[in-house]
Amino acid sequence: MAALLKDVVLTPTHPKTLLLQKHVDYIASYGTDKDEYEFCMTEYLRMSGVYWCLTAVELAGQPGRLDREEILSFVRRCQDESGGFGASVGHDPHVLYTLSAIQGRLDAIDVDKATDFVVSCMNFDGGFGSKPGSESHAGLIYCCVGMLSVTGQLHRLDADLLGWWLCERQLPSGGLNGRPEKLPDVCYSWWVLSSLSMLGRLHWIDGAALAGFILACQDAETGGFSDRPGDVPDPFHTLFGLAALSLLGDAAVGAVSPTYCMPQRVVDRLGLRPQRLSV
């Protein structure tokens, strides 16, 4: 018997146009009530949340909607005396939140050895898992392709094989899943699309169908994007929805770097030149 395909159904009630202003309002009001349950429950990831929110309003062309001084003071107050950054004020320092502090300092680590490790995680299907021999997963593929893009070693992967695995993630709804037999999710639009973009194979998926799925994941009342149509929106999926629409060429959204998921303007200003394969 053929395996049942897991997918969602898009109905005419789901949004079909980009509600950009609503998303800016959603992000700008996120966290204005510091006692709100949802906001309190995500304090452990606040430093990442600040990045998701800032990048989302930047891509929407309205960075001025967030309080720059409040954010800068928050980030400064998160630095521990050890030098590490915590997710929020008074939290223990954590590597995830310290990562941004050392990014660019590629001269300080053994890049060749790190690249060899990433390549050793490559599977027979061209994809990557979390360690050698682990199942391919789109989020981890993005980490590996991004790493090889930063270090200029993209020639070490099998771009045709990996590109094929990535475009097989597209389902009849137009949405993308993270591995076979899983439901589509807006954030995988980003992990898959950005990887295909770095591989020079963005045109291997049906962009119009994917845009239709992403737009259907907007909350027309509150603004923001959720993981799939009808779910509760959050800043995480709002950023990756907007960033994926940017890669798909939506002119209302600012250009995004597929390697860094930061505005291309910011990456250019920093003088970063991550590698991208041409077709």
Positions that interact with ligand 7TP (CB under 6 A): 42, 45, 48-49, 52, 185, 187, 227, 234-236
Q: Which amino acid is at 143?
A: C
Q: Report the residue number, 159 or 227, with the smaller CB distance to ligand 7TP.
A: 227
Q: Which of 47, 87, 187, 193 binds Zn ion (CB under 5 A)?
A: 187
CB of 242 to ligand 7TP, least distance (A): 14
% helix / strand / coil in the chain, to the nearest 5?
A: 50, 5, 50
58 binds, among Zn ion, ligand 7TP, none (CB under 5 to 8 A by kind): none
Q: How far is 148 from 135, CA to CA, in rounded Å?
A: 19
Q: How far is the CB of 30 from ligand 7TP (least distance, A)?
A: 7
Does 185 help bind Zn ion (rule: CB under 5 A)? yes
* 139 to 178: interface string for Zn ion, x by CB under 5 A: ----------------------------------------
| Cα three-residue angle 29-30-32, rounded to 5 degrees | 65
Residue closer to Zn ion (CB basis): 185 or 250: 185
Q: Is 188 helix (H, G, I), strand (E, B) or coil?
A: helix
Q: Assess contact for 142 and 134: CB atoms under 8 A.
A: no
- Of 268, 245, 272, residue with least CA distance to 60: 245
Nearer to ligand 7TP among residue 165 and residue 240 (C-beta) = 240
Cβ at position 120, least distance to Zn ion in Å: 27
Question: Which residue's Cβ has the minimum distance to ligand 7TP?
Answer: 49
Residue 234's binding partner among Zn ion, ligand 7TP, none (Cβ under 5 to 8 angstroms by kind) is ligand 7TP
Q: Is 265 helix (H, G, I), strand (E, B) or coil?
A: helix
Token pair 């006692």 is at which residue?
Answer: 35
Given Zn ion, ligand 7TP, none, residue 45, with its beta carbon under 5 to 8 Å by kind, binds ligand 7TP
Our CB check for Zn ion shows the closer of 18 and 187 to be 187
Distance of CA 166 to the CA centre of its chain: 15
DSSP 125-172: TS-B-SSTTPPP-HHHHHHHHHHHHHTT-GGGS-HHHHHHHHHTTB-T
Q: Which of 187, 195, 142 is nearest to 52 (CA)?
A: 187
Measured N-to-C along each axis, helices 159-167 and 138-150 cross at an angle, to the nearest 10 degrees, of 150
Which option in Zn ion, ligand 7TP, none does residue 42 bind, with CB closer than 5 to 8 A by kind? ligand 7TP
Query: Within 210-239, which residues bind Zn ion (CB under 5 A)?
Result: 227
52 binds, among Zn ion, ligand 7TP, none (CB under 5 to 8 A by kind): ligand 7TP
Nearest-approach distance from CB 219 to ligand 7TP, in angstroms: 13
Residues that bind Zn ion (CB under 5 A): 185, 187, 227
